[in-house]
Amino acid sequence: MSDIAINLFWLLLFLSLFLGLPYHRVNLLLSSFIITLSTYIYTVFGKAGIIMSVFLWSFALVLILINIVPLRRSRLSKPLLNVYKRMVPKMSKTEKEALEAGGVWWEGELFSGMPNWDVLMTMPQPELSPDEKKFINGPCEKLCEMLNDWEISHHRGDLPEEIWKFFKSEKFFAMIIPKKYGGLEFSSYA
């Protein structure tokens, strides 16, 4: 085999390792071992040039050093965190309250990258309250009967005045407003 084919093989192998190990969530220690072993085999048995050897062994040395947790924390993580803290603006009181206001529900699972679908399936299904069901089966149904999409979108370009009055009288614009302020106090599910 030619030197070009051998080097191309090793290049593809290293590229596969650099992309495949993190993709399969192989831990740092094992990933470092695999890459260092591959570097050793390549430099001993492959056709590694001096520049490529220096680059790969430098990378392998960095991998070995970041596996020493106290060293990584003091020399890498802490300085990077300090830089990050200086770059990011302080959290306002409102932002802090918003973050502490609620949980992440199932979205936390979804955005973890590997959601546990059983968690979603075991969550209780939301249900409408009796008032919400009554509203959907009453005023909402009546509104749908009153609307004529062709008339609204092609002729008028607006809702008829009677529809606007119906919205107001049936409190369509007050669905989430608490009852003590004159609203319907419906859930977000409604």
pLDDT (tens digit per residue) in 27-49: 999 999 999 999 999 888 877 78
> pTM for this structure?
0.48
pLDDT of the residue at 45: 82
CB distance 159 to 152 below 8 Å: yes
Helix (H) or strand (E) holding 22: helix 3-23
pLDDT of the residue at 157: 87
Locate 32 and state its tokens: 């470092």
CB distance 157 to 190 below 8 Å: no
For the chain, residues with pLDDT lower than 70 are 1, 102
pLDDT of the residue at 187: 87
Tokens 């220690």 — which residue? 29
User: Which residue from 142, 141, 160 is spatially nearest to 150, judged by alpha carbons?
Assistant: 160
pLDDT of the residue at 120: 83
Side-chain-side CA neighbours of 72 within 13 Å: the count stands at 11
